[in-house]
Amino acid sequence: MDAVLPRRQRIKQQNRQFILDAARQVFAEQGYGAATIRDIIRATPLAAGTFYNYFTSKEDVRQALEAEMAAALRPVLSEGRAEAATAEEFLSAFFSAAFALKTGTETAAIDLRAGFEDLRADLESAVARGLFLPLDAGALAAALLAAADEIGNRLAAGRGDPVQATGEATLLFLRGVQPPA
C-alpha cells in the first residue's frame, strides 16, 4: 500500500520512527515529566543534534506520539462498538478490546484516555439509538475509560483474568451493583 519512497525519504521516516519508538519507551519507563530529550536520544542510534531535525521539544514528540497512539487505538477500540445492537454488546466489545490492549506486551503502558473522544462520540450515538439510558456521554466515557484503565492495570500486573474481568465489568456497568429487589 505504501508508495515506494526514495532512499532519502525512507531514511527520514525511519529516523523519525526511531525517535518516536524511543520516546514511547522512555515515557513509559520514567513518565513524561521525568523523561529528558537526552534519554530519548540515548535510546536511539542517532546523534544528539539530529533530534532537532525532527522535533522541536519533548512536548512536540508527545503530541506526535499521542496522535500515533490515537490512530492505533481507534480501530481496535471502536471495533464492534459502532454496530453493537445492545448495551451488553457495546460494553463487552469495549472492555474486551481495552483489556487486550493493556495486557498486550507490545503496547505496554498505553493510556486508554487517548481514546476519549472516539468513545464519547460512540456513546452519544448509542444513547441516541436508545441502547443506553440518557446519561452524560462525557462523564460516562470518562468513567468507562478510567475504570477500564485501572482494572486493566491490575490485569497487566497479574491480578485477575481478562476474560472474567470483561464479563464482570460488563455486568457492573450494565446492571450496576444493586442486587435485584
Partner DNA sequence: TATGAATGAGGCTTCATTCAT
Partner DNA sequence: AATGAATGAAGCCTCATTCAT
Residue (22 or 123) nearer to a second copy, CB: 123
User: For DNA, which is the closer residue by CB, 47 or 85?
Assistant: 47
Q: Which is nearer to a second copy, 76 or 147 (CB)?
A: 147
From 2, 3, 4, 8, residue interacting with DNA (rule: CB under 7 A): 8
Q: Are 103 and 162 in contact (CB under 8 A)?
A: yes
Binding window for DNA (CB under 7 A); candidates: 34-42, 94-102, 105-113, 120-128: 34-42
27 binds DNA, rule: CB under 7 A:
no
Choose the contact partner of 169 out of a second copy, DNA, none; CB within 5 to 8 A by kind.
a second copy
Measured from the CB of residue 32, what is the shortest distance to DNA in angstroms? 11
3-state secondary structure the chain: CCCCCCHHHHHHHHHHHHHHHHHHHHHHHHCCCCCCHHHHHHCCCCCHHHHHHCCCCHHHHHHHHHHHHHHHHHHHHHCCCCCCCCHHHHHHHHHHHHHHHHHCHHHCCCCHHHHHHHHHHHHHHHHHCCCCCCCCHHHHHHHHHHHHHHHHHHHHCCCCCHHHHHHHHHHHHHHCCCCCC
The residue range among 45-53, 93-101, 129-137, 141-149 that interacts with DNA, by the rule CB under 7 A, is 45-53
Pick 10 or 175: Cβ nearer DNA = 10
Judged by the rule CB under 7 A, the positions of this chain that interact with DNA are 6-8, 11-12, 15, 36-39, 45-54, 57-58
